[in-house]
A and B are shown apart, each in its own frame.
Chain A
Amino acid sequence: MLVVNGLRATVGEKEILQGLNLTVNPGEIHAIMGPNGSGKSTLAHVLSGRDGYTVTGGSATFAGQDLLALEPEQRAHLGLFLAFQYPVELPGVNNTYFLKAALNSIRKARGEAELDAVSFLRFIKEKLKILHLDESLLKRAVNAGFSGGEKKRNEIFQMALLEPKLAILDETDSGLDIDALRVVADGVNALRSPERSMIVVTHYQRLLDYIQPDFVHVLAKGQIIRSGGKELALELETTGYGWIDAEGLAA
């Protein structure tokens, strides 16, 4: 589904990704862990097409297409979704209206019929139920005045509606208390399916208690330096990231 090969990217003069390799198959959940500044968020941003990064080498193929050549909205049309670390507020833009426009632009790009207001409302209420979210969410402006937890839940709600093939969750656990974390994780788990892959970017092992990954990768200095199963996360919990400097890239 996603094949990243030798990806190099810079911000200004600084090279953040230094030849990163990653392969994600349908239905798999990959956790990407690493210390601050290792390039975790950069990876999420480069894959979703945010401005401000220059790709200097390597490739990323998604659903058979050259991902890096596409505009952000085209990546979304292909089925890529980014759950933001800091979801953005859109004052005055109604959440329902926003989601309907987003869903319909994706459907349109895929040559599917757009949903009318009635069928969209039915669809959206179904998803609310699955995620145990309150209907009041639909009437509010996108993220405007939301608490940190509400914003993250709204991200998961959007993911549920847009039904991506690959979701990248960028530090979705940051700033959440344990209850909010559980709600978000439950939502993510409800959306697991054999066709849907996820990349869960996180600093802490904590989230992985709730979202069980198939693979865990350690990102450091712009490369994946170790990969393993979920036990790797537990190991990191005890050893921390200090060993990376000691072992260096040889590990």
Chain B
Amino acid sequence: MTSTTAVNDLVKSEYEHGFTTEIASDTFPPGLDETVVRAISQRKGEPEFMTAWRLKAYRHWLTMTEPNWAAIDYPKIDFQAISYFSAPKRPEDAPKSLDEIDPILLETYQKLGIPLEEQKVLAGIAVDAVFDSVSVATTFRKSLAEVGVIFCSISEAVHDYPDLIQKYLGSVVPYTDNFYAGLNAAVFSDGTFVYVPKGVRCPMELSTYFRINARNTGQFERTLIVAEAGAYVSYLEGCTAPQRDENQLHAAVVELIVLDDAEVKYSTVQNWYPGDAQGKGGIYNFVTKRGDCRGARAKISWTQVETGSAITWKYPSCLLRGEGSVGEFYSVAVTKGRQQADTGTKMIHIGKNTRSTIVSKGISAGEGQQTYRGLVRIGQRAEGARNHTQCDSLLIGDRCTANTVPYIEVRTPTANMEHEATTSKISDDQLFYCRSRGLTEEDAVSMIVNGFCKEVFNELPMEFAVEAQKLLSISLEGAVG
């Protein structure tokens, strides 16, 4: 087999999780104006403060323009052609247990290999599954409540914990932050709220499966996690999506607030539909994720494995305000076919002796395009701040690209910065070497790629690491020769 045909084979492997679920959706007609924003708020039965906030966000959004600095290329999005609300048929009687859940929905999860009941029993994970826009299953709530951890949909939190929502929502990513964050604030459908009280170590990994389903419906998730002083929580976010023809817009916002000595570990495995071989129909993923280390010695760790989406625009960031606070970013991003990703992180050092670590591994195959874009800013008062950045790119085949764009701003002479970057290629020689030792070509690719990503996978919780390795092997099946 020549290397070119082998590369093509691997790159051409079809999206495994492509199917759609037929559930009667209660969907708004396409279009966005103040009436729609009000209607969303009303449909969700929100208190006045939320409606007012959404409207302010919407009015501000109208004054904003789409960012165009990222190295991604896509047809202009018609925001009036998108429907901004879609909920499974019976939003009023939200199910209390799995028995009440639409069997078609359960079947969908099973096709994805994430049966809720098994996960509950085997992995001990509390799952807040988001299907379209309304949460339809929340488990393990009780045992979490016993230690005072709140884990619920953000719609519920708006009703049940309005004080916490008013205090924290939008406090890390204000609606003025960027175009997509503004849009999200105006129309966000649902999402997850986690509150870990002072000194509490959350007894289990928290997990939410996001899924985009209804046709032509943008999904605007909003996640808010608050860790009070001395608290700890590990949150896992994973998603796959059904195969679709139209482009689907996704503009999520994630906010983390971490106080003194608290730690939040946020892990993502993202496998949204990347589009077909021509790049048609994939998800557009414009995400704003930011964590705020407000307290001394607070710690935020972002770990992401990004294999899906046609377009990825995503920079999980840390505001390191508290003295001695720590930010980490571990990322594996895969682009193949016609996927484009412009992703990275921002580490904003504000407090003294703050530390940050960035490890970014980019894998590009087929005609994939990838840019690492990272900012490390060390402010005037961030004496003794330290950053270590490592950006490695692995190219498979000769039609893909990888770029590294590090921005570094240092305003204190006592800061310590390290930046390393490498670019390498899986060569025919490496593959032949492995094969001459008895390994198949696919095993060889998987081994080389997993070796390349090892530092990041080590950061993932065990069950996620296994899933991520599998996902990586599946997504690169047939990619090399």
Chain A interface (Cβ within 8 Å of chain B)? 48-51, 71-73, 75-77, 81-82, 84, 87-94, 97-98, 101-103, 105-106, 109, 141, 158, 162
Contacts and interface: CB of A to CB of B under 8 A. Distances in A.
10 contacts: A49-B436, A71-B435, A72-B432, A92-B452, A93-B447, A98-B447, A101-B447, A102-B438, A105-B438, A109-B438
A106 B436 CA distance: 11
A102 B424 contact: no
Nearest to A99: B437
B428 A51 contact: yes
B443 A101 contact: yes
B112 interface: no
Contacts of B2: 51
A138 to B, nearest CB: 15
Given A75-B436, A90-B433, A101-B443, 18 more contacts: A49-B435, A50-B436, A71-B435, A73-B441, A82-B436, A84-B433, A84-B436, A87-B433, A88-B427, A88-B429, A90-B447, A91-B424, A92-B454, A101-B447, A102-B434, A102-B439, A103-B438, A105-B443
Contact of A93 (B3, B429, B432, B451): B451
Nearest to B440: A73
Contacts of B143: none
Contacts of A82: 436
B433 A141 contact: no
B434 to A, nearest CB: 7
Contact of B438 (A73, A88, A93): A73
A162 B437 contact: yes
From DSSP, what is the main secondary structure of chain B's interface residues? helix
Nearest to B422: A91
Interface in B127-180: none
Interface in B443-468: 443, 447-448, 451-454
B430 interface: yes
Contacts of A97: 447
A105 B428 CA distance: 20
A88 B427 CA distance: 10
Interface in B2-45: 2-3
Find the residue from A81, A91, A103 having the highest chain B CB count within 10 A. A91
Contacts of B432: 50-51, 72, 88
A88 B1 CA distance: 20
A210 B439 CA distance: 32
B452 A88 contact: no
Contact of A73 (B435, B447, B448): B435
A87 B438 CA distance: 15
Contacts of B453: 92
Given A88-B430, A92-B451, A51 B3 contact: yes
A94 B438 contact: no
Interface in B386-444: 424, 427-430, 432-441, 443
B80 to A, nearest CB: 48
Nearest to A76: B438
A90 B451 CA distance: 8
Nearest to B437: A102
A76 B447 CA distance: 18
Nearest to A98: B447
10 closest A-B pairs by CB:
A92-B451, A93-B451, A76-B438, A102-B437, A88-B433, A72-B435, A106-B438, A105-B438, A73-B435, A88-B429
A10 B204 CA distance: 62
A105 B429 contact: no
A195 B68 CA distance: 67
A77 B448 CA distance: 21
A102 B433 CA distance: 11
Contact of A101 (B433, B439, B452, B454): B439
A51 B430 CA distance: 12
A76 B436 CA distance: 6
A71 B427 CA distance: 18
Contacts of A158: 437
- In this complex, the member of B424, B433, B436, B454 whose beta carbon has the largest number of chain A beta carbons within 10 angstroms is B436
Nearest to B481: A51
B435 A90 contact: no
B10 to A, nearest CB: 16
Contacts of A49: 435-436
Contact of A94 (B424, B429, B443, B451): B451
Contacts of B434: 90, 98, 102
A105 B451 contact: no
A81 B451 CA distance: 24
Nearest to A73: B435
Contacts of A141: 451
